[in-house]
Amino acid sequence: MVRRLSLLLIVAAMTAGCGHRPTIFLNDEYNFQFVERVAVIPFDNLSSDQGAGNRVTRVMVSKLLAEKAFDVVEPGEVSRVLEKYATVRTGQLATEQITAIGKELKVQGLILGTVTESSTMVSGGTTTSTITIIARMVETETGATVWSATHTAGGRGFWGALFGTGGKSQSEATRDCVDGIVNTLIQ
């Protein structure tokens, strides 16, 4: 009996440290086969890590290109068009702006997002990075959100905490988080 209880506790602890699953919204009425070309709008950054928004934007573009699910507009072209819409936060684009940007870039979807957490902790000689990203795709005809996902990646996990080893690097945590988010869109 004690052996079974110990085994159950170990399995429960291992499962608890396995990470987070993304929170997902998918508009069931939207036909995603209509989306051939998308633009990734630079991600807003609400974390104290000043480079997090730019880093996540670049990784997102790279992941979407690697998946070959959509044509992706070059970031320089996106920046050129966004200069016309001097907004503080790209996540606050109005519907009219979304449709105008969509027409100018000839895209069916804009991918917008925010980095809400990007942190690295050093403790006892080990480094642990954690990142949380919220991403969404708005279709450019009406400006409606058709997909959204929130995901957190990084941390030490069960085995890292048990044996005192480090977690993922900032780069690894960012890639894992973006992978988790994009995989909810491209299934």
Residue 14: inside a domain, yes or no? no
The alpha-helical segments, DSSP class H, found in the chain are 2-16, 52-67, 75-82, 95-105, 157-163, 170-185
Q: How many domains does the chain have?
A: 1
Q: Looking at per-residue confidence, does 12 or 51 come out higher?
A: 51
Residue 113: inside a domain, yes or no? yes
Residue 169: inside a domain, yes or no? yes
CATH code for position 64: 3.40.50.10610
The whole-number pLDDT of residue 88 equals 58
What is the DSSP code (8-state) at residue 25?
E
Mean pLDDT value across the chain? 84
Q: pLDDT digits over 65-115, tens only?
A: 999 999 999 999 999 999 887 665 777 889 999 999 999 999 999 999 999
Residue 67: inside a domain, yes or no? yes
**pTM for this predicted structure:** 0.82
Percent above pLDDT 90 for the chain: 66
Rounded Cα–Cα distance for residues 39 and 78 (Å): 7
Residue 116: inside a domain, yes or no? yes
| 133-151: average pLDDT | 97
| 40-50: average pLDDT | 95
Per-residue pLDDT band at 52 (split at 50, 70, 90): very high
In this predicted structure, the answer to whether residue 14 has a pLDDT above a threshold of 50 is no
Per-residue pLDDT band at 164 (split at 50, 70, 90): low
